[in-house]
Chains A and B, each alone.
Chain A
Amino acid sequence: MKKIIALVMAVVMMMAIAVPAFAADITKDTAQAGQATVATTTDSTDATYTVTYPASTSIAWGDTEAKNVNYTVTSQLPIGATLKVSVAADNGGVMTSTNAPDYELVYTLAGGAEETFAEINNSVAPATAVEVSIADFSQAVPDVYTGTLTYTVVYTAA
């Protein structure tokens, strides 16, 4: 019985150390030319992307000109994968006063609808500019009002 177990273990060990034959041979007994395939592998390569956006945007009091808050996309994705980027004004664009939370001021977000980006991009801006503006300061108490834009990225594999 011990001999049988020893034999089985020996066979298993030999199978474990058997190396697959990834090499082709050219010998005097084979054709004198051979082909080797050259290929990339994506096994260990994830999609990479970076969406960059302004961390903060200041609007001077009384300035009704639109302010650019564009983002840019840099990406290297697998074939068929996409990035979808959108921008939204939190709280409907309502900003609140720093010193008097009851006071509000509304800004408008233009652009920001979801845009789709293909595999390769190098600091590419959205087709439609993303801008914020405050149309009317006249009925607001001058103060530092703050609001938040949220930039959202959705990666979709092929």
Chain B
Amino acid sequence: MKKILALVMAIVMMMAIAVPAFAGEISNTAPDAGESLVKTDTSAVGAGSYTVTYPAEIVIPWDAPTYDATYTVDTQLAVGKKINVSVADKTTGTLTGTMTATGTTDTLEYTLSGAVATEYDEVSNATETITFTVADWEKTIAEYSNYITFTVVLGDK
């Protein structure tokens, strides 16, 4: 028992005198130059951050064969990360959608093109354009509407 106690006390004493190396020293008995490490701490950052900003409402002028809308992407992601941004019609999940006239059952078809599926690296500042194409305006003049969906997926490169 005494041996065990002595061993424990010895370990405790050794731990007590172990001093972490938080400082460097230059002295008359040591080299006359020393290095100090400067480093960033990302423990509070995680995978980083990103912002995709898109228009809450897109108004297409009547009879316009095509119409461009823009959205922006700002990323600051950890090394090896990326985001994918995709745009699609909310109902179909594809690049083709149907707008419905208010108060009627008339419809207006459109297609999406442009930056509808794009990958962004760790640091990006981009302005993207999606194009709405309405091939057939030979419809009752009315306010047609529908939703499109912007989807962001964070992943590894």
Contact = CB atoms under 8 A, between A and B. Distances in A.
B114 interface: no
A146 B39 contact: yes
B35 A148 contact: yes
- The binding surface of chain B is classed by DSSP as strand
Interface residues of B, number: 29
A131 B79 CA distance: 27
B28 to A, nearest CB: 5
A56 B123 contact: no
A148 B35 CA distance: 6
Interface residues of A, number: 47
B64 to A, nearest CB: 37
Nearest to B36: A149
Given A61-B45, A62-B45, A103 B39 contact: no
Given A52-B24, A52-B25, A54-B22, A149 B76 contact: no
Interface stretch (A18-26, A28-36, A43-51): A43-51
B38 A132 contact: yes
Interface of A: 46-62, 69, 90, 95, 97, 99-100, 103, 105, 107, 132, 134, 137-155
10 contacts: A50-B27, A50-B28, A51-B26, A56-B39, A58-B39, A142-B76, A146-B37, A148-B36, A150-B34, A151-B33
Return the 9 tightest CB-CB contacts between A and B, nearest first. Answer: A141-B122, A99-B79, A149-B36, A51-B26, A50-B27, A56-B37, A58-B41, A146-B39, A55-B24
